[in-house]
Amino acid sequence: MDILKIPKFTPSNSLLKGKEILITGAGSGIGREVALACSEFGANLILLSRNAKKLYSLQDQIVKNGQSEPLVVEFDFEKAKEKDYLNLFEKLCEEYEKLDGLVHIAGVLGYLSPVVNTSLNQLNTVMRVNFESNFLLTQLCTPLLLKANNPSVIFTSSGVGRKGRAFWTSYSISKFAIEGLMQVLADEYESSMRINSYNPGATRTAMRAQAFPAEDPMTLKTPRDRVNDYLWLLSDSNMSTGKAYDFYE
Ligand code: NDP
């Protein structure tokens, strides 16, 4: 797999004006900062995550910043059944005529354990949150995405989704699956949608602290440092599809 670097990019104030964008994992970490930045640059947002309290607090902040009020969707990928996804899709179709961006950021690390010690239950849980959600949401949102001019789908991957690493079993496999989904979709919608994956690299969040508890978080880039990369992938400056991107540095 060829890995590309996100180019240097300075967003204009009206970068995402009028665009409807759904962001998963918007409650905390990278997703929260990406949501704040997208609203700052003019997007109307759908904030989706499992914790309604965090989402409503983000909604408040966005409104206080003078941006348009986002729709809050409380949705737990671990517990959701296919019919819950269908209900979500119906709700989205009632409220929106198109979707310009679908940004998959929600994810869990699961437990780090060697393949031989990883239970099927553990693998399935991580796959449900990290992969199945990306699969079902993209599948359901495709008709809305195809109604937009130049839609962009972003799958948040990882370094271990491109090169396997010992003990990262469930997480690594789930991210490899995302890369596969991205490539298949990009081939299917070559001329109508931009579909890319993105690895934010080591970033100061709760997930990173869970994976590397002894690390000094102050040595890491912050979620805010990653938002420009998402803005570029969403913007019309990005004309690529089917590509695996690494963070800008
Ligand atoms: P965080 O743990 O800070 O945030 C993860 C987000 O996913 C949270 O908003 C969380 O919701 C949401 N989420 C978790 N489980 C579910 C669920 N069952 N249903 C719905 N939403 C859920 O992690 P990061 O911000 O670090 O990670 C964001 C993405 O970046 C992930 O896909 C991760 O794999 C990827 N990544 C991160 C790296 C890093 O160094 N941080 C490096 C490489 C990739 P809640 O707010 O309720 O907790």
Domains of the chain, start order: 3-246 (3.40.50.720)
Q: Is the beta carbon of 152 within 6 A of some atom in ligand 1?
A: no
> How many angstroms does the Cα of residue 32 sit away from the middle of ligand 1?
10
Calpha distance 156→7 (Å, rounded)? 17
Residuewise pLDDT in 10s, the chain (249 residues): 899 999 999 999 999 999 999 999 999 999 999 999 999 999 999 999 999 999 999 999 999 999 999 999 999 999 999 999 999 999 999 999 999 999 999 999 999 999 999 999 999 999 999 999 999 999 999 999 999 999 999 999 999 999 999 999 999 999 999 999 999 999 999 999 999 999 999 999 999 999 999 999 999 999 999 999 999 999 999 999 999 999 998
> How many angstroms does the Cα of residue 100 sit away from the middle of ligand 1?
22
Q: Is the beta carbon of 203 within 6 A of some atom in ligand 1?
A: yes
Q: Is the beta carbon of 148 within 6 A of some atom in ligand 1?
A: no
* HSE value, Cβ hemisphere, 13 Å, CA-based, for 245: 27
Calpha distance 185→189 (Å, rounded)? 6
Question: For position 249, what pLDDT does the model report?
Answer: 87
Residues 5 and 245: beta-carbon distance below 8 Å = yes
Strand order in the sheet with 244-246: 3-5, 244-246, 194-199, 152-156, 101-104, 20-24, 44-49, 71-74
- Establish whether 171 is a catalytic residue: yes
| Closest approach atom of ligand 1 to CA 203 | 40
Q: Which of 3, 6, 24, 28 to mutate to test the pocket of ligand 1 (most atoms within 8 A of CB)?
A: 28
Q: Is the beta carbon of 125 within 6 A of some atom in ligand 1?
A: no
Which residues are paired to 71 by β-bridges? 46
Q: 155 vs 21, 223, 240, CA distance in Å?
A: 14, 16, 14
Question: For position 1, what pLDDT does the model report?
Answer: 83
Q: Is the beta carbon of 106 within 6 A of some atom in ligand 1?
A: yes
Query: Which residue in the list 85, 171, 189, 245 is annotated as catalytic?
Result: 171
| Closest approach atom of ligand 1 to CA 157 | 44
